[in-house]
Amino acid sequence: VSYPYARFFHEVDDELLNSLIKVNVEGTTRVTQAVLPGMLQRKRGAIVNIGSGAAIVIPSDPLYAVYAATKAYVDQFSRCLYVEYKNSGIDVQCQVNLFLVLLFRVFGIAFWN
């Protein structure tokens, strides 16, 4: 989940704020929590999370502060889990797309349709 358009932090309404946190932070965490026990039992598995260059590639992402912060959580969460479970046969990755985000913002369209 991201912003429909750029806005200052004080302009982010509660509904959008809650959506960003629920999907990007809580959703990622709870799905991981649900699938991890089975992977540990099987001694193998892969968790692939979707991050964003807005969180780790560019130094800051003004007008998308909450989005960038939630994606920074996804990146750090993935890095920590990778270290915790790498010897258990479970690979954890965070795929970071920067190019798609920039194209979307430049053209303002859903170019993947």
For the chain, strand residue ranges (E) read 45-50, 90-95
Out of 5, 64, 67, 85, pick the active-site residue.
67
From residue 29, alpha-carbon distances to 22, 32, 70 in Å are: 10, 5, 12
Element (H, E) at 69: helix 65-85
Element (H, E) at 45: strand 45-50
Question: Are 95 and 71 contacting, i.e. CB atoms less than 8 angstroms apart?
Answer: no
Instruction: Indicate if 3 belongs to the active site.
Output: no
> Which residues are catalytic, by number?
67
